[in-house]
Amino acid sequence: MEFPDELRYSDDHEWVRVDNDTVVVGISAYAVEQLGDIVFVELPNVGATFATGDTFGVVESSKAASDLFCPAAGEIVETNEALEERPELVNEDPYGDGWIVRLRFEDAGQVSGLKDAEAYRKMIAEK
């Protein structure tokens, strides 16, 4: 299973990629595998603000619905509107076209508190 080294990961299986003063957020390949075929993604409103750990959306699959948890506090500046028509992009390309939101974070230090790929792999292996 793929966990790109340049990303950071939350305990709730979201990934984060820093892009200047924003972060792109999605769900890991492990989360996608656990959920199965994704059939719907509920996206937050642009401009909404969330604290770390807040629920910011929902991913529904053929198996279950799962909350999305904000890995860093901040404001939603963009959502992946393509997911409204093609939620399966999350299955097909979780680290690329299947991204979910772009967030302007309040504190860049939050990202360093997330797991690196090696620590995330270890957490998955212990499950």
Distances (CA, A) of 8 to 86, 97, 107, 113: 25, 18, 15, 9
Q: Give the whole-angstrom CA distance, residue 96 versus residue 86.
A: 14
Tracing tokens 């506090």 back to the chain, one arrives at: 73
pLDDT for 28 equals: 97
pLDDT for 87 equals: 97
The stretch 30-45 carries a mean pLDDT of 96
Question: pTM (2 decimals)?
Answer: 0.94
Indicate the SS3 state at residue 12: coil
Which has the minimum average pLDDT: 33-37, 38-42, 60-64, 106-110? 106-110
Tell me the per-residue pLDDT of 48-94, one tens digit each, with 9 for 90 and over.
Answer: 999 999 999 999 998 889 999 999 899 999 999 999 999 999 999 99
Domains and CATH numbers, the chain: 8-125 (2.40.50.100)
Rg of the chain taking only CA atoms, in angstroms? 13
pLDDT for 109 equals: 81
**Region of 43 on the Ramachandran plot (φ > 0 left; ψ -120 to 50 alpha; else beta):** beta
Nearest CA to 54 out of 76, 22, 81, 80 is that of 76
Tell me the per-residue pLDDT of 26-36, one tens digit each, with 9 for 90 and over.
Answer: 999 999 999 99
